[in-house]
Amino acid sequence: MKLGADEVVKFDLSDSATWDAALDGVSVIYSASLDPLLEGHLTFSKELGKRAAQIKHVVHVSCMGADTNTASYDASQHASRAGAGIPLMLQHYWMGEKALIDVGLNVTALRNNFFMNHLLKTDCENIVAEGWFSNPLGNMRNSFVATRDIAEAAAVVLSEGPNLHSNKFYDITDPAPQSMAEISSDLGRAMGKDIEYRAQSIVDFETDFGATRAEFFEYLTNGFYTRCSPDFYNLTGHKPTSYYDYLTTQGASG
């Protein structure tokens, strides 16, 4: 079996009029709805539940720790700031999973760590022009994830099907957690020049990028995404992509 586009049909989570045509003849769903589309996803999940005899498997992109809304399994330990809550984004990922589970579908969740391509997306100009980047992560090591690995894990799960993967929840991470000093070293090695990491307070980071991004970075700063998972290796038979490999090798889409 090969995965790929054989037919393209209009589908819009915010427009239920597109759902019947999009679901015609479909038995497997790859679900990767973005956080701003949560309400549409919740409503669409109910529609899929009505078609449980038709829909044999749903593979859903989620977030590591979504099942308990905190990877420490203790909500009170989440934040370093008094009164700060579990990131809303993480709560939404769990709501997205739960909506599919509650309607009785065969679900596989890929619970991914923080995307490598999101880590420095606000710093590209500084890195290229001035050779530095800044964020609050400092010495805390995090096991980021390459989106190419998420796609590969999804392809395995979709190809092998619900008999092997129904009601399974896989944490997808890179092979080793890294600090920002180690990230800057990989960047410098890949670019052939020195790249400097400049520590930033979470308060200044929130001023620059807003509360939603800041509360998720605080989650990373407190060490909840430090651990690595063997799930990608167990699915694919090879180690996941390191940050340096992500910078220097092409994936299927570049």
For residue 17, what pLDDT is reported? Answer: 96
How far is residue 16 from each of residues 20, 26, 27, 29, 43, measured CA to CA in Å?
8, 16, 18, 16, 9
List CB contacts of 153: < 8 A, sequence separation 6 or more: 110, 170, 172, 231, 232, 235, 236
pTM for the model stands at 0.89
Confidence band for 252, pLDDT divided at 50, 70 and 90: confident
Interval 192-230: pLDDT, tens:
999 999 999 999 999 999 888 888 888 888 888 888 999
Residue among 145, 121, 119 at smallest CA distance from 64: 145
Q: Is a pLDDT exceeding 80 seen at residue 82?
A: no
CATH 3.40.1710.10 fits 16-248, yes or no: no
DSSP 76: G
Look at residue 67 and tell me whether its pLDDT is greater than 90: no
Per-residue confidence (pLDDT) for residue 77, from 0 to 100:
59
How many other CB atoms are found less than 10 A from the CB of residue 192? 6
% of the chain surpassing 90 pLDDT: 69
46: closest CA among 12, 19, 77?
Answer: 19
The closest alpha carbon to 37, from 93, 118, 116, belongs to 93
* Distance between CA atoms of residues 79 and 88, nearest Å: 13
Average pLDDT score over residue span 40-58: 96
Average pLDDT over residues 157-171: 95
